[in-house]
Amino acid sequence: MRKAYLTLFYSGLSPKAPGTVGSFVALIIGMFLLNYFTLANLFMASILITIISVKQIDIYEKEVGAHDGKEIVIDELAGMWIALSIAGVTADNYMMGFVAFLYFRLFDIWKPSIIGRIDEKVQGGWGVMGDDVVAGLFAGLSTALTYHLINTFI
């Protein structure tokens, strides 16, 4: 059960780009949930998932003896949902959801500034979750700014 949760229904077991696959699954689930729940609900769910995941990742890492395995993609779900929430993406605005996905993947792969420091220096579940949560914050802000600029100048 733990592995199904941490791999986001086994999407993290993808042989190619498990982080991207996990992020895309998170986008689809998040956009589906926005048909029924508010952005605040999605944001709070991402915080709850982050807290639960920290402990589950700590247990999993002790079981497998490795830190931040590529198969763990629950962190992508938390970061992606934070990005969607901050950007103000709605079920009626799927294109902005895709923009948030692109920004999230950019920040998660590139790991600029504090994102990279968290990834390198923080151990355990907080290290795995922390860089993606901050990447989600950056992606959400970037998406909101992009949306504002498009509406202002186009």
| Whether 70 contacts 18, CB under 8 Å | yes
- Supply 114's token pair: 């504090």
What is the DSSP code (8-state) at residue 111?
-
Which amino acid is located at 31 in the chain?
M
Q: What is the pLDDT of residue 91?
A: 83
| Whether 82 contacts 30, CB under 8 Å | no
Place of tokens 């079920």: 91
How many domains does the chain contain in total? 1
Q: Is 20 contained in some domain?
A: yes
The residue segments making up the domain with residue 132 are: 2-149
- CA 11 from centre of chain: 14
Q: Is 51 contained in some domain?
A: yes
Give per-10-residue mean pLDDT for the chain (154 aa). 96 97 98 96 98 98 94 98 97 93 98 95 97 98 96 90
Q: Is 154 contained in some domain?
A: no
Q: What is the pLDDT of residue 125?
A: 97
Q: What is the pLDDT of residue 92?
A: 86
pTM of the predicted structure, to 2 decimals: 0.96
